[in-house]
Amino acid sequence: MAEEDAVPALDMMNYGMYVIGSHGPMGRNVMAAHWLMQVSFKPRMVALSIENDARTLANIRETRVFSVNVMGDDSRELIAGFLQPADPSKVLGRSGTPGVVDKLAGVAHKTMASGCPVLKDALAWFECEVEGGLPTGDHTLVVGRITDGGQINTGKPLRDDDLGWTYSG
């Protein structure tokens, strides 16, 4: 069986919608992310997969910290703005369009002691310190130990299938 034959199965996998916050040489940044999961209870750790050429990954490599914002199902419009890359050539057919430089412009947020942003409209948040990483094809898997967190709002967490989106295949 060719690996392409697995695409329908991969498209059926559900993921939460998160906003990852960072700061560093690429400036303060947020990005929408799907591929995040808890990987340890003691200590509490998560694994996050990020494209190798993402500004967020460059920031995380430099500062070794990031924030995770758990988004609610009422944040669809907000999260759509975080999907736009700074480099428009990353999106097929967009090479002449300007990128989004400051995704936090006009977005209510708090900068934590780590320097990472937490969105005031998120359901909950946590911050991580990097424990390790692993190149995984066109992405890098970052493992972070949770150092702080809290709940801001109540509601149902947003998932990619709520939006009709897939990030797979």
pLDDT exceeding 70 applies to what percent of the chain?
Answer: 88
CATH number of 74's domain: 2.30.110.10
- Burial classification of residue 139, based on how many CB atoms lie within 10 Å of its CB (0-12 exposed, 13-18 middle, 19 or more buried): middle
Which token pair is 49? 């997969």
Over residues 47-55, mean pLDDT: 95
Instruction: Report pLDDT for 165.
Output: 72
Confidence check: pLDDT of 104 > 80: yes
∠ CA(55), CA(56), CA(58), 5° rounding? 65
Q: Is residue 168 part of a domain?
A: no
How would you class 60 by CB atoms within 10 Å of its CB: exposed for 0-12, middle for 13-18, buried for 19 or more? buried
- Give residue 133's pLDDT: 94
pLDDT at 38: 97
Residue 68 CB burial class (10 angstroms; 0-12, 13-18, ≥19): buried
Total domains in the fold of the chain: 1
Q: Measured in Å, how far apart are the chain's first and last C-alpha atoms?
A: 15
Q: Are 114 and 128 in contact (CB under 8 A)?
A: no
Which one has a higher pLDDT value, 93 or 70?
70
Instruction: Identify which has the larger pLDDT, 8 or 145.
Output: 145
User: What's the domain range around 20?
Assistant: 3-163
Chain centroid, CA 2 distance in Å: 30
Q: What is the mean pLDDT of residues 125-142?
A: 97
Residue 62's SS3 state is helix
Taking the model in full, what pTM does it have? Answer: 0.89
**Within a domain: residue 169?**
no
**What pLDDT shows up at residue 83?**
79
Q: What is the DSSP letter of 99?
A: -
* Banded pLDDT at 87 (limits 50, 70, 90): low
Q: What single string gives the DSSP state of each residue in 123-141?
A: SEEEEEEEEEEEEETTEEE
The predicted pLDDT at position 98 comes to 57
Q: What average pLDDT does the segment 64-88 reach? A: 87
